[in-house]
Amino acid sequence: MSEQAVRYEIDAEGIATIWLDDPISSANTMNADYIESMETVISDLENDCGNDKAKGVVIASAKKTFFAGGDLEVLHTLTPDQAGEAFSMVEKVKNQLRRLETCGVPVVAAINGTALGGGLEIALAAHRRIAVNDRNLKLGLPEVSLGLLPGGGGITRLVRMFGIQSALMDWLLQGQQRNPEAALKKWLVDKLVDSPDQLLPAAHAWLKGNAEGPESHLQPWDRDGYKIPGGTPASPELAAILPSFPANLRKQLKGADFPAPRAIMAVAVEGAQVDFDTASRIESRYFAKLVVGHNAKDMTKAFFFDLQSIGSDDLRPASVDKFSAKRVGVLGAGMMGAGIAYACATRGVDVILKDVSAENAEQGKAYTQTLLEKKVSKGRMTEEARDEILARINATEDASSLADCDVIIEAVFENAELKGKVFAEIEEVVGADALLCSNTSTLPITDLASRTKRPADFIGMHFFSPVDKMKLVELIVGEETSPATLAHAIDVVQQIGKLPIVVNDSRGFFTSRVFGTYVLEGAAMVEEGLDPVVVDRAGTKAGFPSGPLTLLDEVTLSLPRHVAEEARKAAESEGTVAPETPGLSVLDKMVDDYGREGRAAGKGFYEYQDGARTRMWPELRTIFAPEVPAQVSAEDIADRFLFAMAIDTARCFENNVITSSAAANIGSIFGIGFPPNRGGAAQFVENYPGGMGEFVKRADVLADTYGERFRPSEWLRERAVAGQGLGS
């Protein structure tokens, strides 16, 4: 067997097979070995086609996945002065694929496993795509989520297959990933087979039946008379709606700086006006510009490298056997408890859902039924699958039903006394080795653990609402939490399909604490006399999913006041000074003087009708804004939001609340909405343009202008001078 990353063989019937088989990796990527060996293979194929030896070609993978895509390890290191190298590299890859699809014989891609990014682009260069009908197999071009665009011909080919609008909306702008059945319905895949064993025979059968067929060896865009589906930008029908595309994209991005989707749209539109090869070069130029840019570096770090780290065992204590939960007891059937029960049951775990009454427990189970019914109605789930999941949830008021549970997750109201009482009730019932978890967003875990008889088995397991949509779970280690407890908690979180980050105990932990700095900075701006509408819109323009005032309404205006008061009491008891809390006077006035507590109360910074937000409360300007609103630059407003969270993230590292930059990035993006285009709160500090020294300088300017809360600590200054990141 050759040690090349791409192998070539041809049988007696003239069927050539190109095997994608990296000898030193478990997955195929477009690394240097691939490019070099593919060049040799394509040359061999061209010779065989020229001699009429090859009658057809199959592209197949010897790995479990078809092809993983570009080599991000290499792409991530490219600098702006290497843009020309990036262009040349991607042009070489595309030249090989272009020679493949124009080799003169029909080509079939036999897709045995997931094909994302560059992997799908290889398949798109084939004349037919056959895939195994496996729901776990994914097909798509997710580059936009990494701040990139598909640079291996993906945009150019999809536009010519489906037209500009369908290519953008169905595959490119959101990086959708679909299973084979869904891809077949979207005409990306031509045929499905039931098992991997049937894949190559199906490919061979098509080649033998079509090798002599008219134009079977030509892509649609290489045939005479071809026209792009839906027309080009010069077509009257498309020209009439084309101006709405960038407007809709801007609306979706809320004005935030995401270069990749804009570049993808530009490539699609510009490329549709020229021939294939010119369109391909346009795509390469945009790719080269993106891949060396700051945004792609940040997003690739977070959404590839950091997610890989979180999904691995990097955060898990070594030498602890893997644990798999068989039955989870959820204490409290409110919205959070019901969501946790849903998350467990949909992943095959039995659940005992307990509340103070059977009626409350059944209402919690009904939450799962409601979510599942929506899936059934949309054809995404069968009735049998729905019933199977519901059967896993046993709603009860009887604590003795928890006896066989190996994991307990408490999800009652955020009150330490109540949580202690709940654990005291069940502690004598459950087994001595059951994992004890508290879903709390702010209460110190060490204190909660001290209210139980088994503090070593106790850990914080902070879910985010709504649990069915939010992927993050923050695990909080108390002073006595054992390594085995932490390891098993990580196992449980991953078992139910969530992303675990690990933090140490402190008030507010990492996510709740850092989240508070964003929303309170918005309140502080209102206090200073900035227009409230400008403040809220500035948040989304900076890349946050929602403005700070919108979020304050969602969490209720009373919560930050309660958190600040608890922090003040804790500081007094410890003989320290409570941290600065800007904007509280605004919340005090909103709640105490006007009774506006947020969305749950039907009125806050915004007005609501039937639970839906309608408009910002008109009296806000009258109450808080002077006749001439305060003027602060858009750059300063955005930086105040970003730096407030980043500076507090740095404090969390300094105080050993969190130790992993990957956890801080994933936690801040997936848990509390830090702008994903910045790569996370830690990445914002560590990869600030010009380096951490420039971050410190900018923070000092903000501190001089807006308050000492922005002042970097000596610890952070020393790290910046040493060129050392936040994590240990």
- Give catalytic residue positions: 121, 143
CA atoms within 13 A of residue 252's CA, in its CB half-sphere? 12
φ and ψ at residue 191, rounded to 5 degrees: -155, 150
Instruction: Mention every residue, 6+ apart, whose C-beta is less than 8 A from residue 592.
Output: none
Q: How far apart are CA 131 and CA 194, in angstroms?
A: 9
Contact between 617 and 603 under an 8 Å Cβ cutoff? The reply is yes
CA dihedral 556, 562, 564, 565 (to 10 degrees): 160
Nearest Cα residue to 142 out of 173, 97, 188, 110: 173
Q: How far apart are CA 325 and CA 431, in angstroms?
A: 13
Neighbours of 700 (CB within 10 A): 14
φ and ψ at residue 503, rounded to 5 degrees: -135, 165
Nearest Cα residue to 180 out of 124, 114, 238: 114
- ∠ Cα 327 331 334 (to 5°): 120
Amino acid identity, position 167 = A
Residue 305 structure tokens: 């490298």
> What's the longest Cα–Cα distance across the chain?
88
Nearest Cα residue to 401 out of 423, 421, 430, 436: 430
Give the distance, in angstroms, between the CA of residue 85 and the centroid of all CA atoms in the same chain.
29
Beta strands 606-609 and 612-616 are: antiparallel
Contact between 342 and 384 under an 8 Å Cβ cutoff? The reply is no
- For residue 468, the 8-state DSSP code is T
Angle between helices 532-541 and 511-527 (to 10 degrees): 140
Neighbours of 170 (CB within 10 A): 17
Q: How far apart are CA 188 and CA 184, in angstroms?
A: 6
Can you name the residues that pair with 460 across neighbouring β-strands?
438, 476
Beta strands 128-132 and 177-178 are: unpaired
- ∠ Cα 507 655 576 (to 5°): 65
Residue 292 structure tokens: 């060396």
Nearest Cα residue to 130 out of 116, 115, 143: 115
Count how many residues are written for the chain.
728
The secondary structure element, H or E, covering residue 299 is helix 294-300
Based on the number of CB atoms within 10 Å of its own CB, is 436 exposed (0-12), middle (13-18) or buried (19 or more)?
A: buried
Q: How far apart are CA 121 and CA 94, in angstroms?
A: 9
SS3 for 567?
helix
Can you name the residues that pair with 109 across neighbouring β-strands?
59, 129
C-alpha torsion sign, points 134, 135, 140, 146: negative
Q: How far apart are CA 52 and CA 38, in angstroms?
A: 21
Neighbours of 340 (CB within 10 A): 29
Instruction: Mention every residue, 6+ apart, whose C-beta is less than 8 A from residue 224.
Output: none
Can you name the residues that pair with 613 across neighbouring β-strands?
608
First to last CA, the chain: 44
Q: How far apart are CA 61 and CA 84, in angstroms?
A: 31
Amino acid identity, position 659 = T
